[in-house]
Structure 1
Amino acid sequence: MKKGLIYVALLFGVLACSDEFTQSPAVGALSDEALKNETGVNLLLTGAYSTLDGQRANGFGNGWSVSGDNWIYDVVSDDAHKGSTDDDQADLKEVELFNWATGNGYFYGKWGVIFAGINRANAVIALIATIEEGDFSAQLAEARFLRGHFNFELQKAWGNVPYISDENYAATEFNQPNPGPIWDQIEADFKYALDNLPDTQDVYGRPTTWTATAFLGKAHLYQQEWTDALTYLETVINLGPYSLMPDYVDNFRLAGDNSTESIFSIQFAADSGQSYNGNSGGALNFPNPGPFGSCCGFYQPTQDLLNAFQTTAGGTPLLDTYNQTDVTSDYGINSDETFTPFAGNLDPRADYTVGRRGIDYNGYGEHIGKDWIRAGFSDISGPYLPKKNVYWDGESDNQATGGWGQQLSGINYHIMRYADVLLMAAEAEVESGGSLANALTYVNRVRERAKNSNYMQATDGSGDAATYVIQPYASFPDADFARKAVRFERRIELGMEGHRLFDIRRWGNSVQHMNDYFTNEARTITNFGTKVNAYTSTFDLFPIPISAIDLSGGILTQNPGY
């Protein structure tokens, strides 16, 4: 899965040409007839997998919007600022400040790459339908899982979306209306995959029946079909092959690649030279200059996220009061000026998620503050650095440097990991009126892992880098408390992993929540508070890109409010 994707991309560039281009196959291209065999099916299937990382040969919109790790979605939530200077990637600044235009290239780029994935999956499905001999049930199940995944990504972002089937694809009838959700089609693809995939795969990165079961549970969860969601998720928990990694941080290092916690991941690979299989969509998101002179300083965690890691003396989160105090910020303080790091209680996951001054930065030494931050004090992005997406010192075999100095990580991105399944099951228990005891067990499994992980150490060898205090919950006294605890645990366990925006949206309190976040964040980053627009319910869905509407001849209709 990590080899040869560039060749498949080139193949798709040829296959995407119109029939009017030539009456006979170009040299080096494969005809439709030549693809009607196992080799052809597998080539097209590899091409569908290759789109998971967001890269393709026929890109449109803003090229930085397509990253498969969904970092731009965190910038629309309370987890991250865009980072860098305000004028670099101005379209993304407008997205973060909720000054949304239907022609913004970040929306159009993401829309386009998702449909590229859908079309490539449909190409496999349509091809298999034309082959009379041979058993292609395994490839068909994988293609339908991928189509379900891409449609899920489309659905959760835009809501009212068109459905392009393999029949539409075969007939080149791509201009389909978008009257509403396509959950039935998503469920059908995941259910087919569940029924037809094997329990194990010989090749990393391919889904199994357990993968499909987990994703089907997530699809029901997003529709608030709690009982169905719980059935699928608990099947994975009780019967599946997964477990939590012993050490939390290993999920974001080489040890986490295709580990027991990994349910479905983008398979990245890199080396000392420029690699086309590294995470090129996340290349902006390394410190600038940081500890190793990297580019480009984007994707900076918020003060609000860091504050959420504060704990009580008993080691539980400050569910309702975490923003009444701030983890000490060095915003406005230069590196040559005195700074004293926060001495209060913190969940140990804080310093594996947020890079802050005075604490080791992924093995590169103590974070020295402003001199590692590209954003200025007049910009909107604050003083913190991302950590989960940045490879650790000593793991240089999994990084590549591109032609203009960009860093390409070879560490996999977890689209879904087992901790997510546990927390989704806990949520389904609470919301279905089920067992609060089971919900408590699932949440505490996640918290116990964090408690028993290795803590970040001080660079001077004196012990823990901060006052880490974490304990499991003693009980969930009622459903309201359990709901808060489950939702809060999702944030601190999965922070900066691309999930937060859609959690906020589906929980139904986005307007109040996001406007409270704007107010809180403005206390420490004044310029952000003066520039961001108020959040309204319109922003619960992205605008349908105006270019897509134009290309459809008006068949696509715009989401309300735009």
Structure 2
Amino acid sequence: MKRIVTYLFMLIGILACSDDFTESPAIGSLSDEALKNETGVDLLLVGAYSALDGVRNNEFGEGWSMSGDNWIMDVLADDAHKGSTDGDQPELYNIETMNWTSGSSYFLGKWGVIFAGINRANAVISLINSIEEGDFSTQLAEARFLRGHYNFELQKMWGNVPYISEENYAATEFNQPNPGDIWEEIEADFQYAIDNLPASQEQVGKPSSWTAKAFLGKAHLHQSDWDTAFPLLNDVVQNGPYDLLPDFVDNFRLAGDNSVESIFSIQFTTDDGQSYNANVKGALNFPNPGPFGSCCGFYQPTQDLLNAFQTDGTTGLPLLDTYNQNDVTSDFGIDSSEPFTPYAGPLDPRSDYTVGRRGIDYNGYGEHVGNDWIRAEYTDISGSYLPKKNVYWSGETGNIATGSWGQQHSGVNYHIMRFADVLLMAAEAAVEKSSPDLALALEYVNRVRNRAKNSNYMQTVDDSGDAANYVIEPYTSFASVAFARNAVRFERRLELGMEGHRLFDLRRWDNFVEVMTEYAENEGRTIPPFGEEVGTYSDIHYNFPIPITAIDQSGNILTQNTGY
């Protein structure tokens, strides 16, 4: 599924699909009858896959919000600041500081691109249903898996959402109400995919029955349906074809593309400089200025996230409830020309593969020099750190493409789901189910921690040794459900930080307001401008506002979420 191979076909396929949920499907250069064959089905199916990355020809709303890696969602949680100067992308500034409105171009952009994916999947399903001869069971299962994924994204962002079926699509009845959740429909699509997809696919990037089982387990996890989620997720762990990569950081380099740890990924590539097959919507999130002439300084990790990587120097365990009592040393307010001593206390080694900080090698480009690589000013809200997981490494030239105005495009895949995520979801379900299995939860969490312990640690720029005081050990026991719950949730942040999951975890755990209120207070200690600007977190923020443009286009068939 490397999209460079099928890009021209994708364009043809898009002609047959409507991306606007309020409009009838456009008529392209291929007639309906001409599409009723294997080639036609495959063309439309490529169009459905291509919506994963958020790149569209007829997009509306803010284009940066459409990114399939959900980096914007980390800005709405405690993992990341928007980055850059406060005046760059002011709508994102308003979102981070909790000044949300239903007129936000960011919410409209994400809403639109998700419905583009839904409608493209429905186009495939509707076409297959109209063909009288031939076996298209696998293609139908792929399309239903994709529709399940897109609807899952819609559900976890907005809560009360419309459902557009293949029958709605065929009849051009796109204007559907949003009376509540659509979990039943999401589950049905994933179950169909489980029943009809093969256990493995020859073509990389396509889902298997194991992929669908992991997603169905996650759908039940998001509903706190632990007893149903556990056997699904545990089956993937115990019997699926997945495992952890030996080295944690390889998940964010070419070595991790379609590896044994990859469950389902967006297939990015920069082959032959075709930048539109790379991570176009992540182009803002490189250092600016920086070590390789990149742009634009967005997506900066928080002090709170870096603090979470502190460990107990004796036990090697995280400081679950006290990690913000001391800060990992920050160079905020210190010019690069001034002396600075990096933090010498014990840290989880995943810290320096997640957060770019002064004095530590930055993805092979040399020692991070501090403020001279930070676009944000001391008067801005975003602090002094750089992202690392989304930034390609020096020397891996196959990852790199350049856009029309000189921006960077990475060719490294984004893991929508990877095996470490499944291990931790299975561990969580083992803790929360009606008959808790704390021993199994301990085993799964320790698999993740032991991988981190046994990975290659970040080295000094002269390769003289470890770049920092890395101390990490597995847990010896989970003494209670309450302790296990805290440990599993904390491990998800350490392992999956800056991967677009944190906001949705806080929402489903129903502690978003509590965690974010405490975060704002703590973050304001080290970044005073943030503490001065951030607003109040409340229960209305558990769902995004339905875009007012969508409500207007629907003729008020759509209703607004509570509080907006």
Q: Same fold (TM over 0.5)?
A: yes
Kept after mapping to 2: 8 A contact 1:5/1:47: no
Task: Within 5 Å, give how 1:156-235 maps onto structure 2.
Answer: 156-235=156-235
- CA positional deviation for 1:398: 1.4
Cα-to-partner distance string for 1:14-34 (whole Å, 9 max, x where unaligned)? 33579xx9xx976xx101110
- CA positional deviation for 1:170: 0.4
Letter in 1 for 2:388: K
Call closer, same or farther: CA 1:25–1:541 in 2, change over 3 Å: closer
Cα-to-partner distance string for 1:469-507 (whole Å, 9 max, x where unaligned)? 000001001011000000000000000000000001111
User: Structure 2 CA distance, aligned partners of 1:141 and 1:331?
Assistant: 51
Question: In structure 2, what is the equivalent of residue 467 of structure 1?
Answer: 469
Call closer, same or farther: CA 1:68–1:427 in 2, change over 3 Å: same
User: Structure 2 CA distance, aligned partners of 1:528 and 1:309?
Assistant: 21
Kept after mapping to 2: 8 A contact 1:272/1:399: no
User: Structure 2 CA distance, aligned partners of 1:489 and 1:475?
Assistant: 15
Cα-to-partner distance string for 1:337-372 (whole Å, 9 max, x where unaligned)? 000000000000000000000000000000000000
Question: In structure 2, what is the equivalent of residue 55 of structure 1?
Answer: 55
User: Structure 1 CA distance, aligned partners of 2:124 and 2:16?
Assistant: 13
SS at match of 1:276: helix
SS at match of 1:555: coil
User: Structure 2 CA distance, aligned partners of 1:320 and 1:152?
Assistant: 31
Task: Within 5 Å, give how 1:90-489 maps onto structure 2.
Answer: 90-271=90-271, 273-313=273-313, 314-432=315-433, 433-489=435-491
User: Structure 2 CA distance, aligned partners of 1:526 and 1:5?
Assistant: 49
Call closer, same or farther: CA 1:330–1:77 in 2, change over 3 Å: same
Letter in 2 for 1:408: H
Cα-to-partner distance string for 1:243-301 (whole Å, 9 max, x where unaligned)? 00000000000000000000000000014635210000101000001110101000000
User: Structure 2 CA distance, aligned partners of 1:272 and 1:360?
Assistant: 29
Q: 1:553 aligns with which of 548, 552, 555?
A: 555
RMSD: 1.5
SS at match of 1:346: coil
SS at match of 1:415: strand
Kept after mapping to 2: 8 A contact 1:272/1:396: no
SS at match of 2:366: coil
Letter in 2 for 1:149: H
Question: In structure 2, what is the equivalent of residue 527 of structure 1?
Answer: 529
SS at match of 1:345: coil
User: Structure 2 CA distance, aligned partners of 1:525 and 1:9?
Assistant: 45
User: Structure 1 CA distance, aligned partners of 2:303 and 2:512?
Assistant: 19
Letter in 2 for 1:438: L
User: Structure 2 CA distance, aligned partners of 1:505 and 1:543?
Assistant: 15
User: Structure 2 CA distance, aligned partners of 1:14 and 1:227?
Assistant: 43
Q: 2:509 aligns with which of 488, 507, 510?
A: 507
User: Structure 1 CA distance, aligned partners of 2:297 and 2:326?
Assistant: 27
Kept after mapping to 2: 8 A contact 1:9/1:56: no
User: Structure 2 CA distance, aligned partners of 1:548 and 1:70?
Assistant: 21
Cα-to-partner distance string for 1:490-537 (whole Å, 9 max, x where unaligned)? 000000000000001111111111100000000000000100001000
User: Structure 1 CA distance, aligned partners of 2:336 and 2:13?
Assistant: 49
Question: In structure 2, what is the equivalent of residue 495 of structure 1?
Answer: 497
User: Structure 2 CA distance, aligned partners of 1:271 and 1:239?
Assistant: 35
Kept after mapping to 1: 8 A contact 2:14/2:47: no
Task: Within 5 Å, give how 1:24-63 maps onto structure 2.
Answer: 29-63=29-63
SS at match of 1:81: strand
Letter in 1 for 2:61: G
Letter in 2 for 1:467: N
- CA positional deviation for 1:180: 0.4
- CA positional deviation for 1:8: 4.1
Return the TM-score normalized by structure 2: 0.97
Cα-to-partner distance string for 1:424-481 (whole Å, 9 max, x where unaligned)? 0110011114210000000000000000000000113320000000000010010110
Call closer, same or farther: CA 1:84–1:25 in 2, change over 3 Å: closer
Call closer, same or farther: CA 1:345–1:191 in 2, change over 3 Å: same
Kept after mapping to 1: 8 A contact 2:78/2:302: yes
Call closer, same or farther: CA 1:17–1:465 in 2, change over 3 Å: closer
SS at match of 1:379: coil
User: Structure 2 CA distance, aligned partners of 1:127 and 1:382?
Assistant: 51
Return the TM-score normalized by structure 1: 0.97
- CA positional deviation for 1:5: 4.8
User: Structure 2 CA distance, aligned partners of 1:16 and 1:187?
Assistant: 24
User: Structure 2 CA distance, aligned partners of 1:348 and 1:556?
Assistant: 47
User: Structure 2 CA distance, aligned partners of 1:205 and 1:17?
Assistant: 24
- CA positional deviation for 1:6: 3.7
Kept after mapping to 2: 8 A contact 1:5/1:46: yes
SS at match of 2:217: helix
- CA positional deviation for 1:9: 4.7
Kept after mapping to 2: 8 A contact 1:10/1:57: no
- CA positional deviation for 1:403: 1.2
User: Structure 2 CA distance, aligned partners of 1:547 and 1:25?
Assistant: 25
User: Structure 1 CA distance, aligned partners of 2:201 and 2:5?
Assistant: 19
